[in-house]
Structure 1
């Protein structure tokens, strides 16, 4: 999922706590469809460099769908900063689209509103069957044991991106495979006003993504089997401290990164100010900022053992975009036809190649277009070493609470205040208390 603002996540948490039930979709009000079986309204998330770029990419594809089915799709590309609040307004007002994109980490939370069409066997069969999709992608589409609330559309994973020239200048021959190697390389690279690693301390979702993965590596999940928050476990505390220590102790992240928001770390990387960054599919962003493919490389995110895998060798959350349908749309058949079209092999290959993401559809993923070195890293990560964020109804509240705790710890590190096991645990205890209110 592309990162979202904390306010949106907080709004979702409040809505879930208040017991919102969904009644959105398919209305004739502004933003909805006109109830015609020949018309659908689609809210697409902003995946490309700009909203206009997304319109340019998607419009000809929607025209293809209209030519094939006679159903016209009214497109609106919604910025990530607005998308969740727009969805929530639709669940309560009934003034929403027929089909929409959602970040996959929202799946269980939005599922709890009751607004989205459950993808049971019959609905999956209508789009070609559940087994067409990669298991890890489906696992991120709703709570375990329940029918998914959405269908995977674009899959993303984290990789370690590195500047080849910076590495060569520092005498480093290959990207680090362990965290010890990353710290050692980062120290060699942090000189002359440049830094080894980039981060985004004010980006709450990115904070969660990184600390969740480190938590898995320390044997922590942040929630127990009953969905109860366990933010202060030894593993969770160690994970957060390890992340903050890249700045506080190891001095490989610039103090100014504590205030960075979405994509600022990528800008620094593209300008050569930092030599490494942990990010989801970043190739298109680097290209838009003037980097050439030969300027950078991609490697798996480090793990303690040096060999990514499951459990304590997990090195990415399962990131991506899912496609959902408001269950009371007046054009349910048309909506399912549109989901089938967007998840067809042809569209999956075209759109994921354009956006630099990985198809969650198995047959499309095997295409040669996704064999480039950086995409192979992402594909292998999704297949072997990625895990979905906790699929619990209050997941977005978790993103806000723990993401904010990590943001505050970044501020401590940037200001030179001590970051200790005790101070980390205290911040996480405060975050856990907010989950119980």
Structure 2
């Protein structure tokens, strides 16, 4: 059975990667035959393992699209969920034992840890790229090994600074600071009026990694150089850690043990004035009638610029992988091709309410990005992301370094005073060298 492609709004052949911004894709008109078609295996059924949603509309849209796929093909797709922290080990186990779900959504460069266990999806990825304006570079690099795609870049979970505007003004600031020096002064002022900030310093896959990598990069530090040599123990890194220690003094207590849910809960409880999170934190307030005033007071912005002089943000990326052991590789590719087709992918972006940022440039004009002012900071996540292996190549070593929480632990140790900035940087260097040697 051949899965027929749906037509989309623009006519003509497939679009070249790197093209200019494209119209909103949501209608029907032939766009060429760039995306290959797949003949699903007879009797195919599929199982997808994904991360637990923070935005219900995102999951609802994905499930609705999956139902459309089943109705069109007769292929049943079972969808299982795991917590954010558990996806990485569950996927690694499935890859190594050779059994489990047919497909999985993984984080960052997890796919780089076991590329030989994943199905080569280069034809599908290149077809999607040609059809939908190309991938953003940061997303593309996560999904490739030796110039072949072992995953499809699915989305960027944008991470932005979220704050209570009235409290920032009460602290004496007419607007949110644009640089790290101003953020520290704001933190001191907010703590003085009993409205402290709080950024995740625990093993939060999204929030912990995003904040701690920003601390490192904004001051010019990096894990490795362009050749993969470990250089994290540097004056720039130490300067960033000293800054983190000063900023931590303005935090609410306990951030060193936070996971991805904790800062959300503290903010919604009214205990925080500023944090960094996905847009889900806004909708937790907006969807609760009792928190209407809080939602109206919330604003978002991108992380302030540090001494490095430019925006450097990690953002959380997620890729869709197909395991080589699947009995139904063509059906799995047919499913993902369907889910990336414009009507389905746009519906998913809309349902996610700015929580998921597109990886293909043609979807940047989805109306979700201009539907609410608070979405604006999240709309550029795929454009501004810097891969976690910066400044070296991605691969098993960069993936292992992130999985071992080296950057997060270093920042947390220095911020909390468990180690001096110099000691924390030295320990991070030693840990990284064991991986990169």
TM-score class normalised by the smaller sequence: 0.7 to 0.9
TM-score by structure 1 length?
0.78
Deviations 1:94-134 (A, max 9, x none): 212222211133232243xx1112332x2325546375443
Name the CA distance, whole Å, in 2 between partners of 1:110 and 1:284. 36
Aligned residue number for residue 272 of structure 1: 270
Aligned residue number for residue 16 of structure 1: none
Is 1:70–2:74 an aligned residue pair? yes
Q: 1:397 pairs with 367, 390, 400, which one?
A: 400
Q: Go from structure 1 to structure 2 and tell me whether the alpha carbon gap of 1:350 and 1:162 turns closer, same or farther (over 3 Å shift).
A: same
Q: Go from structure 1 to structure 2 and tell me whether the alpha carbon gap of 1:138 and 1:424 turns closer, same or farther (over 3 Å shift).
A: closer
Aligned residue number for residue 305 of structure 2: 303
Q: Go from structure 1 to structure 2 and tell me whether the alpha carbon gap of 1:327 and 1:274 turns closer, same or farther (over 3 Å shift).
A: same
State whether residues 315 and 386 of structure 1, in contact with CA within 8 Å, keep that contact through their aligned partners in structure 2. yes
**Where does structure 1 lack aligned partners over 5 or more consecutive residues?**
1-34, 306-310, 414-418
State whether residues 212 and 407 of structure 2, in contact with CA within 8 Å, keep that contact through their aligned partners in structure 1. no
State whether residues 163 and 272 of structure 1, in contact with CA within 8 Å, keep that contact through their aligned partners in structure 2. no
Q: 1:334 pairs with 313, 328, 331, which one?
A: 331
Aligned residue number for residue 233 of structure 1: 234
Name the CA distance, whole Å, in 2 between partners of 1:76 and 1:151. 19
Name the CA distance, whole Å, in 2 between partners of 1:404 and 1:369. 36
SS at match of 1:321: strand
Name the CA distance, whole Å, in 1 between partners of 2:330 and 2:182. 53
Aligned residue number for residue 368 of structure 1: 367
Aligned residue number for residue 310 of structure 2: 313
Q: Go from structure 1 to structure 2 and tell me whether the alpha carbon gap of 1:425 and 1:83 turns closer, same or farther (over 3 Å shift).
A: closer
Name the CA distance, whole Å, in 1 between partners of 2:395 and 2:243. 25
Aligned residue number for residue 48 of structure 1: 54
Pairs within 5 Å for 1:2-401: 37-48=43-54, 56-111=60-115, 114-120=116-122, 122-125=123-126, 127=128, 129=130, 132-142=133-143, 145-195=146-196, 197-203=197-203, 205=205, 206-247=207-248, 251-282=249-280, 283-287=282-286, 291-292=291-292, 293-304=295-306, 312-355=309-352, 356-371=355-370, 372-383=372-383, 385-390=384-389, 391-399=394-402, 400=404, 401=406
* Residue-pair matches, total: 384
Deviates more, 1:427-436 or 1:67-76: 427-436
Aligned residue number for residue 25 of structure 2: none
Shift of the alpha carbon at 1:37? 4.1
Q: Go from structure 1 to structure 2 and tell me whether the alpha carbon gap of 1:345 and 1:243 turns closer, same or farther (over 3 Å shift).
A: farther
SS at match of 1:255: coil
Shift of the alpha carbon at 1:198? 0.8
TM-score by structure 2 length?
0.78
Shift of the alpha carbon at 1:361? 2.7
Name the CA distance, whole Å, in 1 between partners of 2:245 and 2:145. 31
Name the CA distance, whole Å, in 1 between partners of 2:157 and 2:306. 22
Name the CA distance, whole Å, in 2 between partners of 1:210 and 1:132. 30
Output the aligned Cα RMSD.
2.9
**Where does structure 2 lack aligned partners over 5 or more consecutive residues?**
1-40
Q: Go from structure 1 to structure 2 and tell me whether the alpha carbon gap of 1:347 and 1:241 turns closer, same or farther (over 3 Å shift).
A: farther
Shift of the alpha carbon at 1:144? 6.6
Name the CA distance, whole Å, in 2 between partners of 1:213 and 1:126. 33
Name the CA distance, whole Å, in 2 between partners of 1:97 and 1:425. 39
Deviations 1:355-375 (A, max 9, x none): 222222323221212213232
Name the CA distance, whole Å, in 2 between partners of 1:155 and 1:429. 28
